[in-house]
Structure 1
Amino acid sequence: MNLTGNTILITGGSRGIGRALAEALHDRGNQVIITGRDRALLQAIGEQRPGLVALPLELGDPASLADLADIVHARFPGLNVLIANAGISRPENLASGHWDDFDAEAIIDTNILGVLRTVATFLPLLTQQRSATLMATGSALAFLPLASFPTYCASKAFLHSWLVSLRHQLRHLPVEVLELSPPYVQTELTGEAQATDPRAMPVQEYVQQVLLKLERGDHPRGELLLEPDQARRWAERDGTYDTLFALMNPA
């Protein structure tokens, strides 16, 4: 992926990793379009960064996605980078005796169906370009789950498998398929406490490492995974799965 001269759409780009990526890529001279649910926040971002386009999007609303598609096709027909980043995470206690599937359905709708809807909407435009990149945000937890977030981890495992198939099916088209698998990063994904948790990686530091990997083409199998997460990625292969699972999920 060339990091300059692109037209980039980032869903979930008003907060966290999406916003940090948007700002870093905008600083490099790219045309960046971000989406989010919070209209006031989108307006504030647009005012702070002239030239960066901020548009509302409700991924669960077909009309909202259709409106976004109309705008992008009309104003940004050269779209060549799509970053499907929107996602949510919620803990679930399946053994509580009063668990229901409300949170699980919300996670599946955003993290899985939201990505599929976004790709279905914009893939035809990407394939019209000489060279394009499609990136989706997964998680290092796809490979070894944090058991207190069962549906979230499972949604990212689904996404990993789906992206492998998508990459294979698009292998003869000029569309690079990448999977961004962040570690535990200082965002508000699981709540305000995560944003200041000293155990979490600062979001700006993470984004800079991602950009460095993109510059170097350092993403084997299309996976953008930092070195500390390689142990989890290959735990089953290395015979360390049970040990690492126990460390992450103490009895």
Structure 2
Amino acid sequence: MYIKETVLIIGATSGIGAGLARRINAQGKKVIATGRRQERLSSLAAELPGLGTSNFDISNLATLPMNITELTRTYPDIDTVILNASIQSMFSFADPTSSSPEAITKEVNTNLTAPMIICQTLVPHFLASKKPCSIIFISSAFAYVPVQLFPIYGPTKAGLHSFGVSLRAQLAGTNVTVTDLAPAYVDTELDTGHKERLIEMLGGVDKVPKPTPLEEFLDDAMKELDGLADGKPKREIAIGHFPEMAQKAWREAIGPLLEIFHVDG
């Protein structure tokens, strides 16, 4: 079982993060939800008995270690972290007005740099606890298959997956497991800012892949997160046909190369 007893969810104010908070809370486990929208956190806390919350923006790297350390002091029993917070922007480098250095930096920091810093702060806490602990990255099929529509999102998710492989290898044989969960296209707020442009660019709503309903995704994700592979936690979990194909292709192509470098990731 990947989800232990005291679960910190990074990015829980909507979509997958909020959905996981509801499902895990319903199992009677302690959930701490974080996010940058206080009104969403307050609403979730009013809905879910016993929910802990913490309001901060993980893209603010200067204060991030302090925020995570404070959470471990307030909730010393944290044994699971789900790193879900993401930004997905759609723009073209051929049009410099469609983005900015600040927007690019924020997307990279949110999707990749912040999870690294969170792990740098949390892993020693997990190791010191000596009890089974889990790190779960919410990744993407675009970690394996880059697309020009999302020129920053895909590379950051590829980086997150690569980081997960390295971290898993570093922590092999310890009490901490590292799992990468790659969803397909799920119906959330992630693409709210560019959904209409995407439909227009692809030539109509019938040309856009149909998203998986959130509750359907959560059903599948919770089932996978409650299971094991050969008695051990899976390194990677794919929810949906496209992520399954992408993960399988990556493992078949790169797995033998990892063995050459003795990477147990």
Given the superposition, is the C-alpha separation of residues 44 and 184 from structure 1 closer, same or farther in structure 2, using an over 3 Å criterion?
A: same
Give matches, 1:71-220, under 5 Å: 72-96=71-95, 98=97, 100-127=100-127, 128-191=129-192, 199-218=210-229
Instruction: Give the partner amino acid of 1:89.
Output: Q
**2:257 alignment partner in structure 1:** none
Instruction: Give the partner amino acid of 1:12.
Output: G
1:55 is paired with a residue of what secondary structure?
A: strand
Q: Which runs of 5+ in 2 are unaligned?
A: 196-204, 254-265
Say which is worse superposed, 97-106 or 51-60, in terms of deviation: 97-106
Shift of 1:159: 0.7
- Output one character per residue of 1:58-113: Cα deviation in whole Å (capped at 9) or x when no partner: 2133335514422x233321110011111111012122354543332121111011
Given the superposition, is the C-alpha separation of residues 87 and 68 from structure 1 closer, same or farther in structure 2, using an over 3 Å criterion?
A: same
Q: TM-score, normalised by structure 1?
A: 0.85
2:112 is paired with a residue of what secondary structure?
A: helix
Identity of aligned residues (%): 28
CA distance in structure 2 between the aligned counterparts of 1:68 and 1:235, rounded to whole angstroms: 35
Q: 1:160, 1:179 within 8 Å by CA — same for their partners in 2?
A: yes
**Which residue, 227, 246, 249 being the options, matches 1:232?**
246
CA distance in structure 2 between the aligned counterparts of 1:236 and 1:35, rounded to whole angstroms: 32
Say which is worse superposed, 99-108 or 40-49, in terms of deviation: 99-108
Q: 2:2, 2:233 within 8 Å by CA — same for their partners in 1?
A: no
Say which is worse superposed, 90-99 or 52-61, in terms of deviation: 90-99
2:8 is paired with a residue of what secondary structure?
A: strand
Q: 1:55, 1:68 within 8 Å by CA — same for their partners in 2?
A: no
CA distance in structure 2 between the aligned counterparts of 1:90 and 1:168, rounded to whole angstroms: 31
Displaced runs of 4 or more, over 6 A? 236-239
Shift of 1:47: 1.2
1:161 is paired with a residue of what secondary structure?
A: helix
CA distance in structure 2 between the aligned counterparts of 1:68 and 1:220, rounded to whole angstroms: 25
CA distance in structure 1 between the aligned counterparts of 2:21 and 2:247, rounded to whole angstroms: 27
Instruction: Give the partner amino acid of 1:32.
Output: V
**2:261 alignment partner in structure 1:** none
Q: 1:59, 1:65 within 8 Å by CA — same for their partners in 2?
A: no
**2:6 alignment partner in structure 1:** 7
Instruction: Give the partner amino acid of 2:101.
Output: D
Q: 2:68, 2:122 within 8 Å by CA — same for their partners in 1?
A: no
CA distance in structure 2 between the aligned counterparts of 1:43 and 1:52, rounded to whole angstroms: 10
2:9 is paired with a residue of what secondary structure?
A: strand
2:226 is paired with a residue of what secondary structure?
A: helix
Shift of 1:117: 1.6
**1:245 alignment partner in structure 2:** none
Q: 2:227, 2:233 within 8 Å by CA — same for their partners in 1?
A: no
CA distance in structure 1 between the aligned counterparts of 2:105 and 2:96, rounded to whole angstroms: 18
CA distance in structure 2 between the aligned counterparts of 1:159 and 1:236, rounded to whole angstroms: 14
Shift of 1:124: 1.6
